[in-house]
Structure 1
Amino acid sequence: MDYVMAFLIGGLICAVGQILMDATKLTPAHILVLFVTLGAVLSGLGLYQPLVEIGKAGATIPLTGFGHTLVTGVIEDVNKRGFLGIFTGGLTSAAAGITAAVVFGYLMAVLFNPKSK
């Protein structure tokens, strides 16, 4: 059942993004910022965690999950380190994902020799 819920929640988030791209003049960059911000705001208000508990990876993998990860890290670090946690928490919690994106992006660029248009 976890797989089904992850598929439904993740699919719903992606469908909303696709509808926004098709029905509005928002660019993919605008939608990226909107989703990360929405995930952060919902997480800060305590509304995103129940979605994560239901949808698991379906809620944490899309862009809204990145905003959730940043805010969760900041909240944890503020509780541990105080004011300094505002600056270190988000980076600490998202470091593995950011590092993986940079490393794999670099490897793909080296292996497949991309050409500009």
Structure 2
Amino acid sequence: MLGEKIMEYINAFWVGGLICALVQILLEKTKLLPGRVMVLLVCTGAVLGSFGIYDKLIDFAGAGASVPLLGFGNTLFQGVKKAISEHGFLGIFMGGFTASAVGISAALIFSYAASLIFKPKMKN
């Protein structure tokens, strides 16, 4: 039982690290701007989710696969898929919002709290 838990942590670590390393290589070896790379990651996660590949990766690596931006794209796709099955065509427009609302809200709240605590400064 303990060995299974340790393997879950190891798999999450190396898969998440591999995703981050590949993105870092992409940023350093191409002329793509960070914003475009982020959009590419979200779209890639949605495409992998639509083919059912990303769910298998999440089953294998857990948080190592679900936390990076690829996981966010997959979350958006899953939300849209569910909303379309429940609400039809209008689900296209509402599914992504409902699936990602908690994560986006948490990011906004915690970043605002951090800005109050740490007094951010503009770069020169």
TM-score tier after normalising by the smaller chain length: over 0.9
**Secondary structure of the residue that 1:115 maps to in structure 2?**
coil
1:23 to partner: Cα distance: 1.2
Specify the alignment match of 2:72 in structure 1. Answer: 66
Correspondence for 1:55 among 48, 57, 61: 61
Q: How many residues are paired up?
A: 117
1:16 to partner: Cα distance: 0.6
Provide the C-alpha distance between the structure 1 equivalents of 2:14 and 2:81, rounded to a whole number of angstroms: 28
Per the normalisation by structure 1, the TM-score is 0.95
Structure 2 letter corresponding to 1:30:
R
**Secondary structure of the residue that 1:114 maps to in structure 2?**
coil
Please give the root-mean-square deviation of Cα atoms over the aligned residues, in Å: 1.0
Provide the C-alpha distance between the structure 1 equivalents of 2:24 and 2:42, rounded to a whole number of angstroms: 15
Given the alignment of the two structures, is residue 109 of structure 1 paired with residue 115 of structure 2, yes or no? yes
1:9 to partner: Cα distance: 1.1
Per the normalisation by structure 2, the TM-score is 0.90
Provide the C-alpha distance between the structure 1 equivalents of 2:30 and 2:56, rounded to a whole number of angstroms: 29
Specify the alignment match of 2:21 in structure 1. Answer: 15
Gaps of 5+ in 1: none
Larger radius of gyration: 2
User: Which of structure 1's runs of 4+ aligned residues deviate more than 4 A?
Assistant: none
Q: Percent identity over the alignment?
A: 50
Specify the alignment match of 2:91 in structure 1. Answer: 85
Specify the alignment match of 1:36 in structure 2. Answer: 42
**Secondary structure of the residue that 2:122 maps to in structure 1?**
coil
